[in-house]
Each structure stands twice: as C-alpha cells, then as structure tokens.
Amino acid sequence: MAPRAKKREQDLLHPRVTRAIWRAVLIELARTGYQGLSMEQVARRAGVGKAALYRRWRSRKAMMLDLVTAIELPIVPSVDKGSLHADLLEYIKGAVRLMRRPLARRLLPEFYAEMNRGGDLGQALRNKLLGPKSLQLQELVERAKRRGEISNSVDPRLASALIVGPIYWAWMIERYSFDESSIATLTTSLTAALKGN
C-alpha cells in the first residue's frame, strides 16, 4: 500500500472518527428510530465519508450490533439504603432522572421496540439492557427478603415487573412527568404492595 493510501486508511480507522460515528448514530437513532436510520445519514452527521463506515461495518445492522456491544447503556442502579421503602425511593428517583435526559427519553423506547421485533439486534439489546436491569431489581427484592420485610415466597421477577411497570407506563404511554409528591406516592404504594399490606 502506498504511504498516502496507508495514511488515509489510518485516519479512517482513528478512534476519534469512531467516537464521532457513535455520537452520530445515537443522534440519528433518536431522530429517526432504527427503521429510519441510514448509513448515509450517519456519515453526514459524523462529518465523514461513507467509506469510513463501510471500512468498519458491512451494513447498518452490523454497525448497530457493534454499537450495542461497545457503548455503556444507562442502567438505574439498585442502592442499599437500609429499607425496602428507602431502596424503592432511590430506585424510582434514579429512573426519573434517567427519563429526564433528552437522549434517553428518545432512545430507550426505540431500543425496547427493537427488542420486541426480535432478531440478532433485538437479542443483543435484550442482553445489554434487560439482563443488568433485572439483576439490579432482583437484588433490591432479595435484600428486602433478607431483612424480613417481604415474604420469601415473593417471585423476584414478578416483583421487578411490579416496580418498573408503573414507571414505564407513566413515561412511555402516559407521557407523565413525576414530581416529588408523585414519586413519594408511588414509592409508598409499591412498598405496601410488595409487603402484601
């Protein structure tokens, strides 16, 4: 390979270019969704030629699979605050903070929709998002069991669904904005439901 051509190839594969492409993919995903995403749009937004994309990925799907593997997707942590009520309050506040981030508001529903479409990309997103999220929520439930706050017969998966269900319904379906009062009310209601009160 001639020195000039080699230099051009190195420039195309530079980590700075990859970061610009990742940023462009996320912005375009938020703008058009995966179904509307094109390699041309990504290249234009990243300020690179299409060759910079096709040197890395043979298709839009390959690019997305690589993206899902490479980037850190936001997961709300389950923090031990000493009681079920306090743990739930901290978790719900974390979820609300996440929902208030504009990019997360646009991307997460798109990711969940793609999960339900199935295929390699849907499975990759399911592994990246749902696996870690389920572990966090199930640990919250198991801590409450160890403290004796809820029955050992409570199914952690069903309990997790009970916790996140109202949050995501309010966010994605109702377009509801939580305030301090509604966070407190939801926390109290979920605590009572999990305890069987």
- Between CA 63 and CA 69 the distance in angstroms is 10
Q: What is the pLDDT of residue 16?
A: 83
Residues of the chain short of pLDDT 50, as ranges, are 1-12
Regarding pTM above 0.95, the answer is: no
pLDDT at 197: 61
> Taking the CA atoms of the chain, what radius of gyration do you get in angstroms?
21
> In sequence order, which residues have a C-beta less than 8 Å from that of residue 34 and are 6 or more positions away?
64, 110, 113, 114, 121
Domains of the chain: 3-70 (1.10.10.60), 84-195 (1.10.357.10)
Distance in angstroms (rounded) separating the CA atoms of residues 52 and 131: 32
